[in-house]
């Protein structure tokens, strides 16, 4: 089920990034601090009152040219209006209402989306009176907060949560594999989708996503039902998505949240750029099964080593996604396209696979016997038992004598041994280390 999206909008220097960090709390610190994971501060996952949501900080947008600040906040507002379920409109108590604030307010007011007005830098009681002039923006009661001191964040989030849409039941059954097609502009996402559907010639219908603003296309192949969630070809009027490729991340977020399997499309002719890592990284952090699809392979000059070399480049650039298979296709000529759906089915099954506890413990016991955990300051990690607690993605809890001495490298070793035994191709595995209590 897709998480709702909260966007934080406002002119520069009002403290959007500080509030972003407060809202997602410890989440950013506990997501994987691993080699190769690209940290794009544009998005994060937060929770409040048992509701999970995605948070978008529009503050990282930089625009060149005249009147840079005003153009920047217009773009932020336009992005939030299109994509967010709730908008936090941030202003600065010390600066008062500025022309840029008025500009954004007019755009948000016309959009008819829920807007919560947060007045930042209300660092003490004396500043509380400074919030009243912001009533003029037309969004009801302003909420005074202090990002630097953490004041008022709870009150703000209580109001924001009240505006989130009710969780929707997924409209497709468990037997349907939902496939999101993501990638930066001009990698050939639309062509790939059309090629998949054109080859099968069994398009049922195009369903315009209600609040999701995406196109869902159900189809069936060899008795398996699929839905393609297409993020391609959805640029709206205006120059938002032409201005910077960073926006493609937000487009991808909604589709990824709903998907079982994510196709990360890379332009084989252009190769890999940093933006590819940002987009793929979100699929990884969302715990989705993923496949790298290298498109436009028909126009790449190659010899018998080219495919191996490109695969190695993907492995080098995406160290955090070594589990994801790589396919080389051409949407234009349909080269190797017939291999794609069988791989989709396989990784979807691996994503939903549950391993019996006794089998998991046998594999981990053998792994420990072959390579015992190293000591840490004279203390050795002891693994008591292991169990899988969730699927989509597979989540495994390792009960130990002291979680503090579980080193990342040993966790990765266990991950590799578990994969060697059971597969889990195409899916991340979440490993959590817990202290074994005395009564267990």
Residue ranges for the binding site for GTP?
A: 10-17, 57-61, 120-123, 183-190, 230-234, 295-298
Residue corresponding to tokens 């436009």: 296
**Closest CA relative to residue 356, chosen from 418, 417, 400:** 418
**Closest CA relative to residue 387, chosen from 440, 350, 349, 427:** 440
- Output the six-digit token pair for 115: 């807007």
| DSSP 3-state of 433 | strand
- Residues 6 or more apart whose CB falls under 8 angstroms from that of 285 comprise 31, 32, 45
Q: Is-contact 277 184, C-beta < 8 A?
A: no
Cα separation, 351 vs 11, in Å, equals: 41
Binding site feature residues = 10-17, 57-61, 120-123, 183-190, 230-234, 295-298
Q: Which residues pair with 219 in a beta bridge?
A: 226
Cα separation, 287 vs 75, in Å, equals: 30
- Residues 6 or more apart whose CB falls under 8 angstroms from that of 391 comprise 351, 352, 353, 354
**Closest CA relative to residue 279, chosen from 296, 269, 266:** 266
The helix/strand count (H/E) of the chain reads as 13, 18
Q: What is the DSSP letter of 16?
A: H
Q: What is the DSSP letter of 4?
A: P
Q: Is-contact 226 344, C-beta < 8 A?
A: yes
- Output the six-digit token pair for 199: 């080859």
């Amino acid at each position: 089920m897709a998480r709702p999206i909260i966007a934080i909008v406002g002119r520069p220097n009002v403290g959007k990034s500080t509030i972003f960090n407060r809202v997602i709390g410890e989440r950013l610190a506990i997501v994987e601090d691993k080699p190769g994971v690209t940290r794009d501060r544009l998005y994060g996952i937060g929770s409040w009152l048992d509701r999970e949501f995605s948070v978008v900080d529009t503050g990282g947008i930089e625009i060149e040219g005249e009147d840079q600040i005003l153009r920047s906040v217009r773009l932020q507002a336009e992005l939030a209006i299109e994509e967010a379920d709730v908008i936090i409109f941030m202003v600065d108590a010390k600066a008062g209402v500025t022309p840029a604030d008025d500009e954004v307010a007019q755009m948000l007011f016309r959009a008819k989306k829920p807007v919560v007005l947060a007045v930042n830098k209300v660092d003490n009681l004396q500043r509380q009176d400074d919030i009243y002039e912001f009533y003029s923006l037309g969004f009801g009661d302003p909420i005074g907060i202090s990002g630097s001191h953490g004041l008022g964040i709870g009150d703000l989030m209580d109001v924001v949560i009240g505006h989130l849409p009710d969780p929707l039941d997924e409209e497709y059954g468990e037997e349907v594999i939902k496939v999101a097609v993501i990638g930066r502009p001009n990698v050939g996402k639309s062509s790939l989708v059309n090629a998949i559907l054109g080859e099968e010639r069994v398009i049922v219908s195009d369903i315009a996503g209600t609040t999701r603003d995406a196109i869902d296309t159900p189809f069936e192949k060899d008795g398996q039902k699929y839905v393609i969630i297409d993020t391609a070809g959805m640029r709206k009027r205006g120059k938002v998505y032409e201005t910077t490729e960073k926006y493609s991340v937000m487009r991808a977020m909604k589709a990824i949240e709903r998907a079982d399997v994510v196709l990360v499309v890379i332009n084989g002719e252009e190769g890999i750029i940093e933006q590819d890592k940002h987009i793929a990284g979100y699929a990884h952090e969302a715990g989705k099964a993923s496949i790298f699809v290298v498109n436009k392979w028909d126009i790449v000059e190659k010899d018998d080593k080219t495919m191996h070399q490109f695969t190695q480049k993907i492995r080098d650039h995406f160290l955090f996604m070594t589990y994801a298979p790589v396919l080389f296709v051409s949407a234009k000529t349909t080269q190797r396209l017939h291999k794609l759906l069988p791989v989709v089915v396989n990784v979807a099954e691996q994503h939903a696979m549950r391993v019996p506890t006794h089998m998991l413990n046998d594999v981990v016991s053998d792994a420990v016997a072959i390579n015992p955990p190293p000591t840490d300051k004279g203390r050795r990690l002891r693994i008591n038992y292991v169990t899988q607690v969730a699927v989509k993605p597979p989540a495994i809890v390792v009960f130990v004598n002291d979680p503090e001495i579980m080193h990342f490298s040993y966790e990765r070793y266990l991950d590799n041994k578990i994969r060697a035994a059971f597969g889990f191709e195409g899916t991340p595995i979440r490993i959590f280390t817990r202290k074994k209590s005395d009564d267990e």
